[in-house]
Structure 1
C-alpha cells in the first residue's frame, strides 16, 4: 500500500450504520451531528470527523454524519456537469474508517430545499434525530435559500437545548483544504497535491470489461475499467503509477487514462496494465489507487514507438513503486 495513510482512531470501530433517508433513522439515544457533502473525505473532513467522534464519546451519545444526494448543485442549479471525488459507495467505504456511528444519506430535492431553517432544526435535528450537539463550519448556511447562518443556529440551540461547536475560520485556514482544490488538482494532473490533501491516494472504483485487446498485441495486456457513475471525476488524461485491489488482494501496475490516439482516437478509457498478473478478471469489481503521474498522453507514429514508450513507463513505474510498498 501507499505510505499515504488514512487517519483512523486507535479504538475499536463498530460497523457503520447507513440510512438512505432521515425518516428511516430511529434512535432514542442523544446524538452529536455534523452536516455536509464531505466529498473526498479529505484531511479537513477527517478533522471534523475526529471532533465528532470525540464529542459523541464525551456526551455518551451516538455520532451522525448527515449528507445529501444528489449534490444540492445538481438540484438547485441544474448543474449536471458537476464532477465529484466520490461515488456514494466510495463515500460509504471511506466514512466507515473513521468510527462514525451513523451515516444518513438523505435524498436532496426541491421540497427538502424549501424547508425553513426552523423547520429543519425543529422537525429534523430535534424531533427526528434527537440532537444534543452539532459540529459545523463557521460559514455554514442552511434553510430555504440558505439564509440562516451560524448565529441563527446558535440561537436555535439555546431554544431547543443543543450545543453548537463551530469549526473556526482559523482552523479551516490552517488546513487550507477544499474539495474544489482537490478537483482542480486532479483535472490538472497534479496527483501529488490531490493525494496530500486527501490523506490517501485518489481512487477509482469500477468493473472490468472487455476492451479492444490491442494491449495484448504489444505484450502489455490491460484491464479496462468501466466507471458506472457519470458524476465521478476522472483525472487528466495521461499515464499513472497505480495499485489495484482485486478480490481483497493488491497489485501494482500502470494506468492510462485517455482516448488511445495512436490506435484510433475514440472515447475516453481507463486501462490498467497489472504487473506480474495473468488472470481473467472480467466482471470483477476493482479499486484503482492513483499513486503518481508519469506523463501526458501522446500520439505516437507507430505501434512500435508506443510499445517502446510502454517499456520505458514500466521501468519507471517499477523503480518508483518501492516507496509505496
Structure 2
C-alpha cells in the first residue's frame, strides 16, 4: 500500500475505485466496505483508493472541543488498512480552505482531476463540500458529467458501521473489552513509549513498564486491570495492564502500566504495543501497599487463567 500525506502527492490514476471516510477502528463494518471496493477494482482492472482526513474535521472546525477520542491513531489506521490490501491511502489534512470548496469543486478537483475516479463507493448519508451541502444525489448527478460511476452503500450497512463505531467506543470506556474486540474483529491496542516511573511496582514485586501515548486524541479504556499481550522490540509476551490514578497511593494522574510476565529487560524509551484481551476488574483503593501486593498477586493468577498460561 502506498501512503500519501496530502492529495497533492498523489499521481492521478486511470481507473481509481474510491471510497471516502474516517474509518476509525477499521472494524468489521468497515471491512465489508473495503472488501466491496476490492471486488470492484478486481473486476474492472482498477486500483483501490481510500481517502481519509487527518486531523479529524472536528479538530479543525472546533479546536476548543478536546473531547474527541479516536479508536485508532492515524498511524494505527494506516497499518490496519495495509493489512486489508488497500492499494492507495490518501491522508488529506483537513483545513478550512478544503471545507470551503463547493460540492462540484470537490468532485471535479479532488475526485476527478486529482485521483482519477472511475467508481466511487459511498453511503446514502455521506456529506461533503462547503457547509456539508453535497451528498449522494450530487455524486449521482455529476457522475455522468465527469465520467465516474457511483455505487451506493446500502443504508443497513451504513447503519451497521455507525452503530459499530459508537458501540466500540462505549464498550472501551465501560471496560467491555471482549465486546469491543468482537466489533473490531481484532484486539483493541495501544502504541506508546516506555518511560521511567516511580518504581512502586518493583518495590512490591510486580515491576511495570510505564507507557506514555503521544496522541492526545487516542481513546483509552476504562480504569482497571486487563489481561493483555505485549509486543516489544525483541518479542511478544503476556502480561497484565493497569489503567488508573493509583488511588492506593493517593495518585492524581492517570497512568498506563504493564507488568510483563517472565520479562526482566530494561526497555526505557523503547516503543511498546499492548493488545487488550480481557477486562479483569475495576480500579480500587486498598488500605496499604501490602494489601495491594496481595490483590495484584490474585490478579496475576486470574490473568494467566484468561490468557491460557
Give the TM-score band, short-chain normalised: over 0.9
1:165 deviates by 0.8
1:30 aligned partner: 15
Where has structure 1 moved over 4 Å in runs of 4 or more? 173-176
Count of paired positions: 308
Q: Which structure exhibits the higher relative contact order, with contacts defined as CA atoms closer than 8 Å and separated by 6 or more residues?
A: 1
1:13 aligned partner: none
| 3-state secondary structure, aligned to 1:40 | coil
2:41 aligned partner: 56
1:115 aligned partner: 101
CA distance in 2 between partners of 1:113 and 1:135 (Å): 21
Q: Is the 8 A contact 1:207 1:284 kept in 2?
A: yes
Using the size of structure 2 for normalisation, the TM-score is: 0.96
| 3-state secondary structure, aligned to 2:32 | helix
1:229 deviates by 0.7
CA distance in 2 between partners of 1:248 and 1:97 (Å): 22
- The answer as to 2:292 corresponding to 1:306 is yes
| 3-state secondary structure, aligned to 1:53 | helix
Matches within 5 A, 1:1-325: 16-78=1-63, 79-173=65-159, 177-247=163-233, 249-322=235-308
CA distance in 2 between partners of 1:70 and 1:30 (Å): 28
Q: Is the 8 A contact 2:29 2:157 kept in 1?
A: no
Q: Is the 8 A contact 1:177 1:197 kept in 2?
A: no
| 3-state secondary structure, aligned to 2:19 | strand
Using the size of structure 1 for normalisation, the TM-score is: 0.92
Q: Is the 8 A contact 1:133 1:162 kept in 2?
A: yes
| 3-state secondary structure, aligned to 1:270 | strand
CA distance in 2 between partners of 1:276 and 1:290 (Å): 18
1:170 deviates by 2.5
1:173 deviates by 4.4
1:172 deviates by 3.6
Gaps of 5+ in 2: none
CA distance in 2 between partners of 1:114 and 1:173 (Å): 27
Q: Is the 8 A contact 1:43 1:177 kept in 2?
A: no
1:3 aligned partner: none
Gaps of 5+ in 1: 1-15
CA distance in 1 between partners of 2:117 and 2:19 (Å): 10
